[in-house]
Amino acid sequence: MNRIYDTIEPNVIDQEMLQKAVEEQGPQEEAGQLAKREGIDFKDVTELQLDFRNILKIDNLWQFANLTKLQLDNNIIEKIEALDSLVHLVWLDLSFNNIETIEGLHALVKLQDLSLYNNRISKIENMDTLQELQIFSIGNNNLTSLENVVYLRKFSKLRTLNLAGNPLCDNEQYSMFIAAHLPDLVYLDFRLVDENTRELAEIKYQYAIDELKQGEAQALAKLEEEQAKQKELDYHKAAYVEYLNGPFLFESMYAEDAEANKLAYLPGMPDLLETYRNKFESVCEKLFAYGLEQYEKRQAEVSTFYKCLQEALAANQEQGRKIILDFENQNVGLLEVVQDMSSFDMAETKLAKYNNDITQLSDTLMMLEMQTVDQLEEIIKDFERNIADLVSTFIENVQGMMAQCRDLENHHHEKLLEISINTLEKIVKSEFEEEIPDDVRMLFVDKDTIVNAVNASHDIHLLKIDNREDDIITKANSWQAVVIEEVHKNEIARNRSRVKEINQYIDHLQEELDNLESLEPVE
């Protein structure tokens, strides 16, 4: 607290400091010698201690990607920063520093033990992601508000809390309040929270807690509901028929259609609109159901394919494994025997045979792989064809149903036109007696205007339907492309890795043999 910058030179975390710390804290004795000879990679270090070093700024720690424990206590750090790459951190000690706000911790999702003791923090905040937190020490800080502690309720695993030395501890309700609001807490300020206090606290703050709980429960329920909804929507989206199980499409057709709203005032329109709407909706429902059904079918097809693929690969793996095991069993101890053999010629022939065997093994394995590739190619072709069939049928049927929608729209349009013209005639003859708003009346100045208006409405509707259809078709097509591409990509990757594996294995065998041969003349 009373550090004076003039007298103490602030330090920077640099390579030298890190290297020294790592060496000091790394393996000792024999292993240490070994480590020293080889050098230690920072990414292998799991624990690091950088205390009493007058560090002002956290920096240059990004290399320690696997760090689980970091001690930066007793420095003069003013800001929590540059810790985002240390995602494996479990223990972080930042006590006895000059930190004023909690920040920069959101990436440390595995953090269990956090110490911010003896800093200048006045508010607990910005810790939402630390759901694993078990021990939290924030004593000797500037926390003043008891209400702020309620923030800690969201850490369901928090068992130990240290708040001693904060202004809020002077509040006589302090321990009661904490005990009531953090019911899972076991230790507070290094002391066990006894049952008695907890009971008393619970009674005292019952209402407040109940309210809190209710709020939390509601939030949770809402979240769950939303998630369920989202899940269903995702399911529908995957089937490309989202928002088709209701009047959504119909409503969207009329949403941007100003003319239609005006035309709705015409006599006979409400009825016409109602029947149109019902018919349209029923077609949409049909489309929706069909879409879901087709989706299930596609999924089933894909899963059958993958199942068969897995089976084939498992069989292939089994076969390959057997070949290799046979080979290994045959040649177990061969090299040792050869090494000990007295007759050079005998050894030579043995080795030649072994060499031969290796080549043969390589050939066998490669042949097996070729065969597998052929087999898989065949089934992939089948699969491709079936998927294409499925998608094209789906598209055709969707188009058919969309055509129905269009027919309905056309029909509606004709009816509307008829009504409009009739109305126009009536208005012209001044026989029209019903009250209509002025802007609607404006449409009926002459035939062109009304016909244009009706046509405009019709066009908007058709456009909407077309768009929806296009949307479904594009999505279906792109899905097909993605699925097929993935299958091909996987197969190529598999083939590559297998060939590489075989080569590597053969190389390994050959190398062993070569080592032996190079030894032979020496001996």
Partner 1 sequence: MEALRENEAEEKEEEKKAFKIGDELQDLEEKLSKIQVHIPNIHEFDWSSVDTSQLPASYKINSAKEKMMLHIAANFRRQYTHLCPDRKELFLHPLNECGVEKFVSTTVRPTLLPYPELYNWDGCARFVSDYLTMEPLPNPIEPPSSLFSPTTIVKYQRGNCFDFSMLLCSLLIGVGYDAYCVYGYATREICMMDETREVCPLLKKSKEAQKETVKEKTEKYAVKPPRDLRSKFELQQAAKKEAEIQVAKQKKQEEEEERIMEAEKPKPDSLYGLRVHAWVLVLSGKREVPESFFIDPFTAKSYSTTDGHFLGIEALWNHVNYWVNMQSCLNGCKDLIFDLGNPLRWEFMLLGADKPLLLLPNEEEEEELADEDLDTLDKEEEEKGSDMPPSWVDPIQISLKEFETRCPQGKKVIHYKKAKLEKWAPYLNSNGLVERLTVFEDQDCTKVLEVTQWFKNREDLLEMRQVNKITEVTTEYFGPGHALGLKAHVYKSMNPETERTMEFYNETRVDGLRKRVENAHEMTEYFAGRSDFLYYRHTNFGKRTKRAQILVANPDANARPIMQIKECFHRNLEKPANEDVAERIFMISEERILLTYHLQENYITASKREFIKRADVDNKGNKIIMTPDMCLNYQVGSSQEDKKLIHLYKMMLKLMEEEKRLKHQVWESGTEVLEILKIREEEEGASKLTVSIYDTERNEKGKKQREAMERQMQEERQRQDEQDLDYLAPFIIQMGNTEKMTKWQALRLKEDCLTDFKYRLIDKANIIQLRFEKETQELQKKQQWYQQNQLSMTVEDEEAYIAYCSDAMFRIRILEMRLSRHKETAPQKYIALEEKLCKDPRLSEYLKLYA
Cα(399)–Cα(241) distance, integer angstroms: 13
- Between 303 and 474, name the residue whose CB sits nearer to partner 1: 303
Residues in the interface with partner 1 (CB under 8 A) total: 41
Site for partner 1 in 468-497 (CB under 8 A): 494, 497
CB of 38 vs partner 1, minimal distance in Å: 6
Cα(105)–Cα(82) distance, integer angstroms: 9
Nearest in space to 54 (alpha carbons), one of 74, 70, 79: 74
CB of 348 vs partner 1, minimal distance in Å: 24
Q: Using the rule CB under 8 A, which residue among 17, 21, 35, 456 binds partner 1?
A: 35
CB of 68 vs partner 1, minimal distance in Å: 17
Kindly indicate which of the ranges 31-39, 86-94, 390-398, 457-465 contains the residues binding partner 1, using the contact rule CB under 8 A: 31-39
Cα(59)–Cα(57) distance, integer angstroms: 6
CB of 34 vs partner 1, minimal distance in Å: 5
Taking residues 264 to 303 in sequence order and writing x for each that binds partner 1 by CB under 8 A, - otherwise, the string is ----------------------------------------
The verdict on 498 binding partner 1 (CB under 8 A) reads yes
Cα(222)–Cα(467) distance, integer angstroms: 33
How many CA atoms, within 13 angstroms, populate the side-chain half-sphere of residue 284? 20
Q: Using the rule CB under 8 A, which residue among 136, 276, 290, 305 binds partner 1?
A: 305
Nearest in space to 162 (alpha carbons), one of 147, 174, 180: 174
The verdict on 379 binding partner 1 (CB under 8 A) reads yes
Taking residues 188 to 207 in sequence order and writing x for each that binds partner 1 by CB under 8 A, - otherwise, the string is --------------------
The verdict on 34 binding partner 1 (CB under 8 A) reads yes
Q: Which residues contact 192 (CB under 8 A, 6 or more apart)?
A: 186
CA dihedral 316, 321, 327, 331 (to 10 degrees): 170
Strands 47-49 and 11-12, bridge-based pairing: unpaired
The verdict on 308 binding partner 1 (CB under 8 A) reads yes
| DSSP conformation class of 154 | G
Cα(331)–Cα(350) distance, integer angstroms: 11
Site for partner 1 in 322-341 (CB under 8 A): 323-324
CB of 156 vs partner 1, minimal distance in Å: 24
Q: Which residues contact 165 (CB under 8 A, 6 or more apart)?
A: 118, 139, 140, 141
Site for partner 1 in 347-376 (CB under 8 A): 365, 371, 374-376
